[in-house]
Amino acid sequence: MDEIIYDTGGGEGDLQNHRIQELKSQLTDLQMKNDLLTKEINQLKRENSQLKRPPLFVASVIEVLADGEVYLRQQGNNQEYITHTLDEIYRELRPGQKVAVNNSLSIVRTIGTTFDARVRVMELEESPDVTFDKIGGLREEIEEVREAVEYPLTRPHIFTRLGVEPPKGILLFGPPGTGKTLIAKAVAHQAHASFIRMSGSELVHKFIGEGAQMVRELFALARQKAPSIVFIDEIDAIGSMRTHDGTSGSAEVQRTLMQLLAEMDGFDNRGDVRIMAATNRVDMLDPALLRPGRFDRIVEIPLPDAESRLEIFKIHAAPLKTDGVVLEDMVRLTENSTGAEIQAICREAGMIAVRNEAKAVTGDDFLRAIRKVKHLTASEDRMFL
Ligand code: ATP
């Protein structure tokens, strides 16, 4: 039998070394775990202090006053107050700016930019791609608008030379869908001006408590983007006599209107911001809006007559591949129709042909489209065919 010989001296040393190595690696492990736990504790401490901190409120700046003072309106409850703020925040503030305020109503920081607030309600096109040849009829009306809006922007020297003051604002009125917005866009295109549209009814219904401020922002944006055309659609929503009945909602609408009048009064007739508005109900407008120096040129945009309807049909049927369609017949069948309805008829006729997988759009497709768009009754329908 072989005898096993242990090297007790050297062997013990190896064991100890081994043990030390083991303990060292355990220590490193524990140190790593300790680091992780310390990080976790710090994170939890941060979250804890965050939870203990009271939430901040959002307010918007109504006016930046002198000596570090700011006039604010809190969102939600519409409470208005004046607060004093630190110099570095004060320098950044503009009317319309959103800010975060703490419990003691001091501004903690600003939120976003003023431009963010504006784009929520305004449509801005740097130079719309609508040209006059895309508008059927309305020649005299277009000329009147060009004189009042486009020429002061493109030929200001003629006005100066002759000492003529162009109208301050121009109001288009007529039934919906007759091309009021279209004209405003085409004029902006022609004058290489930015087109800024704001809807009066959206302003009143979506931006309760912010109407006057939005009007201020609209004009600030118009100055920034000049030369520009401001187009206020459905102006009757803010400028109608009927809405001013003494309720709190009407007080808000009244404030919005006052702001609009103040902005218009502060404008130079010959400046490079032109103001247009549109309504379906000119008779309902507050006379304050129609005084000289405000909307002092009023142009009616009527329903298109037969000749204009033919032009509108030609414009909207042009991209369609048609077969034997006599547009003059369609003109006879669309008395009292608006340009928007004629556009819808052409689109619908095209869709019917697509559904039938036809080679071209036919007169019959147009007839069906007229019936659908004009919601004809059975008896009207018989007369019609
Ligand atoms: P609203 O009062 O509802 O705002 P509006 O008078 O401003 O209506 P637009 O938005 O200009 O009407 O017209 C809607 C669409 O109808 C236009 O985009 C255009 O396609 C078509 N349209 C209206 N009038 C004409 C026209 N005279 N020539 C060509 N297209 C027209």
Q: What is the DSSP letter of 34?
A: H
Tell me which residue has its CA closest to atom 22 in ligand 1: 339
Tell me which residue has its CA closest to atom 25 in ligand 1: 339
- Which residue is it, tokens 């489209």? 369
pLDDT at position 232: 92
Task: Domain 120-300: state its class.
Answer: alpha beta
Taking alpha carbons only, the member of 353, 381, 377, 383 closest to residue 365 is: 353
Rg (CA), the chain: 35
Q: What distance in Å separates the CA atoms of residue 123 and residue 138, rounded to the nearest whole number?
A: 25
Neighbours of 210 (CB within 10 A): 22
Tell me which residue has its CA closest to atom 3 in ligand 1: 176
Q: What is the pLDDT of residues 121-171, one digit of tens each?
A: 677 777 788 999 999 999 999 999 999 999 999 998 998 899 888 888 899
Q: Are 100 and 118 in contact (CB under 8 A)?
A: no
Taking alpha carbons only, the member of 126, 162, 130 closest to residue 145 is: 130
CA dihedral 266, 211, 120, 290 (to 10 degrees): -50
Strands in 57-64's sheet, in edge-to-edge order, are 80-84, 69-74, 57-64, 98-101, 107-111
Q: What distance in Å separates the CA atoms of residue 241 and residue 254, rounded to the nearest whole number?
A: 10
Check if 240 has its Cβ closer than 6 Å to any atom of ligand 1. no
Check if 137 has its Cβ closer than 6 Å to any atom of ligand 1. yes
Report the length, in residues, of the chain.
385
Q: Ligand 1: which atom is nearest the Cα of residue 175?
A: 2
Beta-strand pair 228-233/194-199: parallel
Q: Model-level pTM greater than 0.75? A: no
Task: Report the separation in Å between the CA atom of 240 and the middle of ligand 1, taken as the mean of its atom positions.
Answer: 23
Check if 179 has its Cβ closer than 6 Å to any atom of ligand 1. yes
DSSP 210-228: THHHHHHHHHHHHHHT-SE
Q: Ligand 1: which atom is nearest the Cα of residue 315?
A: 29
Q: Ligand 1: which atom is nearest the Cα of residue 280?
A: 2
pLDDT at position 57: 84
DSSP 103-169: TT--EEEEES-HHHHHHTTEEEESS----GGGS-S-HHHHHHHIIIIIHHHH-HHHHHHHTPPPPSE
Instruction: List the CATH code of the domain at 306-384.
Output: 1.10.8.60
Check if 212 has its Cβ closer than 6 Å to any atom of ligand 1. no
SS3 (DSSP) at 62: strand
Check if 340 has its Cβ closer than 6 Å to any atom of ligand 1. yes
DSSP 179-244: SHHHHHHHHHHHTT-EEEEEEHHHHHHHSTTTHHHHHHHHHHHHHHT-SEEEEEESTHHHHBGGG-
Tell me which residue has its CA closest to atom 27 in ligand 1: 136
CA dihedral 143, 145, 147, 151 (to 10 degrees): -110
What residue ranges do the domains of the chain occupy? 57-114, 120-300, 306-384
Task: Report the separation in Å between the CA atom of 183 and the middle of ligand 1, taken as the mean of its atom positions.
Answer: 8
Task: Report the separation in Å between the CA atom of 279 and the middle of ligand 1, taken as the mean of its atom positions.
Answer: 13
SS3 (DSSP) at 271: coil
Check if 138 has its Cβ closer than 6 Å to any atom of ligand 1. yes
Taking alpha carbons only, the member of 290, 353, 292 closest to residue 320 is: 353
* Token pair recorded at residue 216: 């201020």
Task: Show the low-confidence residues of the chain (pLDDT under 50).
Answer: 1-3, 5, 116
- Which residue is it, tokens 């007839």? 367
Residue 219 one-letter amino acid: F
Tell me which residue has its CA closest to atom 21 in ligand 1: 340
Check if 197 has its Cβ closer than 6 Å to any atom of ligand 1. no
Check if 136 has its Cβ closer than 6 Å to any atom of ligand 1. yes
Task: Domain 57-114: state its class.
Answer: mainly beta
pLDDT at position 54: 73
Longest Cα separation, the chain: 132
* Token pair recorded at residue 100: 């975060």
pLDDT at position 58: 86
Q: Ligand 1: which atom is nearest the Cα of residue 184?
A: 11
Taking alpha carbons only, the member of 309, 304, 301 closest to residue 279 is: 301
Task: Report the separation in Å between the CA atom of 300 and the middle of ligand 1, taken as the mean of its atom positions.
Answer: 14
Residue 368 one-letter amino acid: R
Q: What is the pLDDT of residues 283-330, one digit of tens each?
A: 888 888 888 888 989 999 999 999 999 999 999 999 999 998 999 999
Task: Report the separation in Å between the CA atom of 191 and the middle of ligand 1, taken as the mean of its atom positions.
Answer: 20
